[in-house]
Structure 1
Amino acid sequence: MLRNPYKILRDLMPDPPLQVGTVVSITSGVAAVQLPGGGLVQARGDTTVGTRVFVRDGLIEGTAPDLTVVLIDV
């Protein structure tokens, strides 16, 4: 049986990472989310300014707990 080449290729690619950040602004339903390392990503979703959120692949997945963030360089 022949396997789908596209599925084989997709299986080789990693899933997008789940990131956490703080919403700094919202314009036309798109939120600017500041990541702990200083980066800024744009994400769609229902949220308010100042909220900590989980972001994956340009989408807000939900509200994140307000905990202390620790960055570990590897």
Structure 2
Amino acid sequence: MATTNIWQQFKALIPEGERVVATITANNGNGTSQAKLRDGSVIAVKGESVGVGEKVFIEKGEIKGTAPSLAQYEVEV
């Protein structure tokens, strides 16, 4: 049965979890890679499908695909 709660319908449109953009710094050879986040921290993620130096989308600790290399701006309000 479909829900009539408009908030639940809205939430169903938004994917759960956080998507992070990072740069691959190393492929470990065991199904994992090292990725450098925008803040400079390095994390281990599942997947080796992307080469070193490329930007990726990471969801739930796993590489989901390549990300475009776009300029990054930081603005304080």
Tell me the TM-score normalised to structure 1 length: 0.69
Match of 1:70 among 43, 68, 73: 73
Shift of 1:73: 6.7
**What are the superposed Cα offsets for residues 2-52 of structure 1, whole Å, 9 maximum, x if unpaired?**
xxxxxxxxxxxxx32100010001112211110111111211121111110
Task: Tell me if 1:59 matches 2:52.
Answer: no
User: Would you say the 8 A contact 1:36–1:69 is kept in 2?
Assistant: no
Uncovered stretches (5+) of structure 1, i.e. residues with no partner: 1-14
**Matched residue count:** 60
Identify if the C-alpha distance between structure 1 residues 23 and 73 changes in structure 2 by more than 3 Å, giving closer, same or farther: farther
Superposed counterparts of 1:19-30, under 5 Å: 19-27=20-28, 28-30=30-32
Tell me the TM-score normalised to structure 2 length: 0.67
Superposed counterparts of 1:41-60, under 5 Å: 41-45=43-47, 46-60=49-63
Q: Could you say what the CA RMSD is over the residues aligned between the two structures, in angstroms?
A: 1.8
User: For 2:72, what is the secondary structure of its paired residue?
Assistant: coil
> Which residue pairs with 1:16 in the alignment?
17
Distance of 2:41 and 2:76 partners within structure 1: 15
Distance of 2:76 and 2:17 partners within structure 1: 19
